[in-house]
Chains A and B, each alone.
Chain A
Amino acid sequence: MAASKASRLGEEYETPKAAPPPAPVRPRLTLDFPRDRIWKTRIEKVNAELVVLTYGTIVAQLCKDFDSDYVEVNKQLDKMGYNIGLRLIEDYLAKSNTMRRCSNFRETAEMVAKVGFKIFLNITPTITNWTSDSKQFSLVFDENPFADFVELPDDNRAQDELWYSNILCGVLRGALEMVQMQVEAHFISDVLRGNDTTEMRVSLIRYIDDELPPEDD
């Protein structure tokens, strides 16, 4: 089993500050390498349904633990995602083989959508709806493997309150923080809620100074 040890139990969860500092070598990102080849040859894979069902059981358990307080469930999912994001970036840099730092936020968006999501979820969300200052964009998900088998609870609340895939917001936030970008991410629509699209809004808050340790949430 060549899989990496993704976590050490009980060590890093409570204290995200203890996560390893950003790699000293500046990540150098280029946009023209063959993404499909990376997916086909460099990514160890598992059955998608194992992942999807595992995510489903996590969300269902959170809903149970928090007594269907969906706002709290969203927060918990975001938190889990954040923890994942902090660890995932190293994996991302290794797999994408990118060494150059993104020169601007637009380039970052490209890398997130076309490399990050491709590597981890084998999807490529569409980047759209940039603000004129290039600090905010949307990711529109035509495909979302997490939502494949899902119908939200028919309790007159879930479709207004639960963001089923909210873990992805946290992942983005955590991962970009590790490369010195403080971002905010949240879903603004979801086909599971009856919307016609699934759309995540991502905003750059600021670039984190190199001298400072990564911000805790």
Chain B
Amino acid sequence: MSHLAAGKTAGAKEAAGLRYPSNGKTIYHRPLNRTKTAELSQSSFAYLFSEMVTYAQRRVTGIQELEKRLNLQGHPIGLKLLDLLLIREPARSQTRPLNIISLLHFIKINIWQHLFGRQADRLEKSSNPDTPDEYMIVDNEPLVNAYVSVPREMSQLNCAAFVAGIIEGVCDGAAFPARVTAHSVGGKEEGEMWPGKTVFLVKFQPEVLEREALIGRA
């Protein structure tokens, strides 16, 4: 209980806290849905995203580390979107995902639709019996990769690691802890129809599958 009491003393210092404009221009005074359907120019996103990648690149030594960093930058966005998109659902469909499939549908449909204006292309469960904890979200043409042309010496890099981080944030936030990684598969299958095709590999922690099994039995 001591920590609850500690929370109280922290509350006491609030008077000295942040300043706010007298005209009430704070996030709390604006409706959450104000920017729900707002649009900005694609190039603004392109410039920001490529600056983010370039900046991250200077602070890492390898591609793996760079992808990890992009993942970390996406993660908090996933945490925020989870609640933002949930609160915007109509009351009757406003439910927390309770199993892996409903969570992945939320990502494939709601998250993708909101961020990229369309659903992800496919959702698959690993067919390998050794990896029942792995799922795949397929995007034939990730929006983020349209903006960055990767130099040849970095051809392994997939900037969709940022999106993988967003997905991971959604999973972690919804209490389905997972590792999510982005893999380029374009050209390896289906010819060259989708050269940028990316698979987001979602690997859930063991406790997620254990809980799922328990709930299934109940």
- Residues of A at under 8 Å CB distance from B? 1, 3-11, 13, 43-58, 60-61, 65, 76, 80, 83-84, 87-88, 91, 119-122, 145, 148-152, 154, 156, 159, 167, 191, 193-196
Contacts and interface: CB of A to CB of B under 8 A. Distances in A.
Contacts of B38: 47-49, 122, 145
A6 B43 contact: yes
Nearest to A52: B35
Looking at B20, B25, B35, B148, the one whose CB has the most chain A CB atoms below 10 A away is B25
B9 interface: no
Contacts of A194: 18-21
Given A10-B54, A57-B76, A154-B17, A44 B43 contact: yes
Contacts of B51: 7, 58, 80, 83-84
B114 A9 contact: no
A46 B143 contact: yes
Interface stretch (B55-63, B101-109, B178-186): B55-63
Question: Looking at chain B's contact residues, is the secondary structure mostly helix, strand, loop, or mixed?
Answer: helix
Contact of B23 (A45, A61, A196): A196
A49 B114 contact: yes
Contacts of A13: 54-55, 58
Interface residues of B, number: 58
Nearest to B52: A58
Contact of B115 (A47, A65, A83, A159): A47
Interface in B1-52: 16-23, 25-27, 30, 34-36, 38-52
A145 to B, nearest CB: 6
Nearest to B154: A9
Nearest to A61: B73
Contacts, number: 176
A154 B34 CA distance: 25
B117 interface: yes
Contacts of B18: 151-152, 154, 159, 194
Looking at A3, A54, A83, the one whose CB has the most chain B CB atoms below 10 A away is A54
Contact of B57 (A6, A9, A149): A9
23 contacts: A1-B146, A3-B42, A7-B147, A9-B157, A13-B54, A47-B38, A48-B40, A49-B38, A50-B116, A52-B40, A61-B73, A84-B47, A84-B51, A120-B40, A121-B40, A122-B38, A145-B40, A149-B27, A191-B23, A191-B26, A194-B20, A196-B21, A196-B25
B41 A120 contact: yes
B53 interface: yes
Contact of B149 (A9, A56, A122, A156): A9
A45 B48 contact: no
B151 A54 contact: no
B96 interface: no
Contacts of A120: 40-41, 43-44
Contacts of B55: 13, 58, 76, 80
